[in-house]
């Protein structure tokens, strides 16, 4: 009797061959997340609004988790992620530094920081959707779950930044509303 071998790595079974394009994209996002762990504290310190500071701090903690989750994906696939620069994140971090460097004395700085943050989140969402699609297509169930978790956090951060930018605060109510909305969407 012949059994079909699954390409899942949920039990630590490494697949025979991982597509190089997938590895490159994982490496790029790993670098991007590491860059963001340096940029987010700077943005949080520059923010004037307590709500924006809180969103940035929460997302910093999540971003540190994203770095670890990407390390876990590599470990699960039994590969080493390539050191790939992420040009788009580097550009967006530079844009954020420019905003901080202007030292605006008005809430406009927070609006500019939120705009940069939303651009970062949109880029990350696009990239994680691609990674999730590839992981699913390859049958990497464990990695798909890790990447989907990151994607969900990026989408939540994007929603929160958009709501803050639209003046729909306070943040505790926004988090509650967004959490309930996302939980309802999963049912």
Question: Which CATH number goes with the domain that contains 32?
Answer: 1.20.1260.10
**Is 81 inside any structural domain?**
yes
* Closest among 101, 153, 65 to 161, alpha carbons compared: 153
> Which residue range is the domain that position 66 belongs to?
20-186
**Is 3 inside any structural domain?**
no
**Is 152 inside any structural domain?**
yes
- The string of DSSP letters for 119-175 reads HHHHHHHHHHHHHHHHHHHHT-HHHHHHHHHHHHHHHHHHHHHHHHHTT---HHHHH
pTM, two decimals, is 0.85
> Residues in the chain with pLDDT < 70?
1-16, 104-107, 182-187
pLDDT of residue 4: 34
User: How many structural domains is the chain composed of?
Assistant: 1
**Residues contacting residue 58 through CB under 8 Å, at least 6 positions apart:** 157
Span 23-48, pLDDT tens digits: 999 999 999 999 999 999 999 999 98
**Bond before 170 cis per omega within 30 degrees:** yes
């Amino acid at each position: 009797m012949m059994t079909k071998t699954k390409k899942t790595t949920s039990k630590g079974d490494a697949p025979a061959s991982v597509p190089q394009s997938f590895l490159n994209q994982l490496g790029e996002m790993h670098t991007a997340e590491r860059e963001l762990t340096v940029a987010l504290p700077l943005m949080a310190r520059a923010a004037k609004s307590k709500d924006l500071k809180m969103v940035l701090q929460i997302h910093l903690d999540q971003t540190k988790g994203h770095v670890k989750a990407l390390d876990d994906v590599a470990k699960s696939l039994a590969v080493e992620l390539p050191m790939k620069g992420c040009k788009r994140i580097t550009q967006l971090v530079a844009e954020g530094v420019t905003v901080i460097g202007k030292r605006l004395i008005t809430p406009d700085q927070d609006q500019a920081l939120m705009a940069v943050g939303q651009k970062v989140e949109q880029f990350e969402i696009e990239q994680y959707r691609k990674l999730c699609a590839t992981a699913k297509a390859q049958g990497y169930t464990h990695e798909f779950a890790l990447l989907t978790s990151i994607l969900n956090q990026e989408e939540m951060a994007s929603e929160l930044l958009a709501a803050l930018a639209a003046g729909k605060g306070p943040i505790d109510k926004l988090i509650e509303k967004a959490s309930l909305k996302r939980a309802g969407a999963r049912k």
